[in-house]
Amino acid sequence: MSVRPAYQTVARNLNGVGNFVLQCKKVTFRYCNWGGSSEGMRQYLDKNLQKIAAQNPEIEFVAVKDIGHPFIRGEFVNGAEKTICCKNKHPRFIDGKFEMLKSTDGAPRKQMKSPVESINESVRGIWSPYHTNPEGRHKI
């Protein structure tokens, strides 16, 4: 087992008992001022932007008028970005996607190989019926 010197160890921002670091730091709403596909985004921003900005002071909000289909882009503390297309979507859909961006960490989804993640593998190994005494097993 190798031991790393203290000067090579770097503290990471982790959520724990004593602190909470919101992972989403910036949300950008892009929409077209006259396009029909941006109708839901325009309604959402007109009704909800002031309210959600007041409820989430730790997140920077940017609304950009641009030509093209609307989208929401979230930027995260770890440097990742997620973009969600909102073309022809209802304001409730956009609100749900904003809540999803706010509560996620921006890391790509990965398939779990086992339901438990551990730094150390099991000391005892994997149980097998072939490695036990046959007389000690339960008989039906």
> Hey, where are the domains in the chain?
20-103
Q: What is the pLDDT of residues 115-136, one digit of tens each?
A: 777 777 767 777 777 777 777 7
Please give the pLDDT value at position 115.
74
- SS3 for the chain, per residue? CCCCCHHHCCCCCCCCCCCCCCCEEEEEEEECCCCHHHHHHHHHHHHHHHHHHHHCCCCEEEEEECCCCCEEEEEECCCCEEEEECCCCCHHHHHHHHHHHHHCCCCCCCCCCCCCCCCCCCCCCCCCHHHCCHHHCCCC
- CATH for the stretch 20-103: 3.40.30.10
pTM: 0.68
Confidence of residue 38 (pLDDT cuts 50, 70, 90): very high
Q: What is the pLDDT of residues 58-109, one digit of tens each?
A: 999 999 999 999 999 999 998 999 999 999 999 999 999 999 999 998 888 8
